[in-house]
Amino acid sequence: MAPGVRIEWLDETDSTNEEARRRFRAGEIGPLWIAARRQTAGRGRRGRSWADLEQNLYCSGLYSLKCTPAEAAQLSFAAALAASDVCQTFLPDRNVRVKWPNDVLVDGKKICGVLLESADAPGKIIQLVVGVGLNTAAAPDIPDYPATSLAGLGVKASAEQALDLLTVRFEYWRSVWAREGFAPLREAWMARAHGVGQRCVARLSQETLEGVFTDLSSDGSLKLEMANGQTRLISAGDVFFPGALE
């Protein structure tokens, strides 16, 4: 466990992100990680439900930050890097990659997702909730979203072990971000990025685009090179790589 960071385990909650929001409203300032052995209403990005499988890791970190909302959002990359560090530690011989905007893949299959949210805060303080779901024991069966787990790859690692390591690695990347800004996180993320130079489909709220994923911008947006030579910056959406395992 990272120094100065508390961890609290719950037997059951609706959602660790929602529990984090409640703790903020009750006066908690963090850093605190809340984990649950069972979630009854877990969710992913865009309100998607999150499968509740026994012995997987469901957790949320609570952080009070003095920065802008855009700067706080950069910590989604810190969370993805931290989760990929955890997976690479347990799976040293496997291909662990990060996929924009918030997934961790092992051999092309999803093993972890990240969901950042904020709670209402007074003044210039950002109350950030860092939600992480890691398949330690089992993988959900979701059409078009191939998934895997540590156990499915032959690794016996408990959710507790994974969370202890996750807090250490997240604190490392958060400290780098606090000292040096987003640039070193961007560089590290790109070194692990899935699909660079490959054609992809970006599904946005109002349109669907096709192009080649070429880079990550200085603010974390995905750079998509279109067939007409234009470059589009994608700040929110879902990205798919047709013909490849996601």
pLDDT value at position 46? 45
- Residue-wise DSSP of 62-79: EEEEES-HHHHHTHHHHH
Alpha helix (H) residue ranges in the chain = 16-25, 69-73, 75-90, 159-180, 183-191
Q: Which residue has the tokens 């890791």?
A: 57
By DSSP bridging, strand 57-66 and strand 96-99 are: unpaired
Q: What is the pLDDT along the chain (246 residues), one digit of tens a residue?
A: 788 999 999 999 999 999 999 999 999 999 999 999 998 876 654 445 455 678 999 999 999 999 999 999 999 999 999 999 999 999 999 999 999 988 999 999 999 999 999 886 666 789 999 999 999 999 988 777 799 999 999 999 999 999 999 999 999 999 999 999 999 999 999 999 999 999 999 998 889 999 999 999 999 999 999 999 999 999 988 899 876 544
58: which 2 tokens?
């469901």
What span, in angstroms and rounded, lies between the C-alpha atoms of 165 and 170? 9
pLDDT of residue 206: 87
Is 39 in a helix, a strand, or coil? strand
pLDDT given for residue 246 in this prediction? 42
CA distance 217 to 234: 9
Residue 45, judged by CB atoms within 10 A of its CB (0-12, 13-18, 19+), counts as: middle
Map tokens 């996601």 to a residue. 246
Q: Give the tens place of pLDDT for each residue, 228-237.
A: 999 999 998 8
Q: Is 140 left (phi over 0), alpha (psi -120 to 50) or beta?
A: beta
What are the chain's domains? Answer: 6-191 (3.30.930.10), 199-240 (2.30.30.100)
Residue 94 is given by DSSP the state S
ω into residue 122 within 30 of 0, thus cis?
no
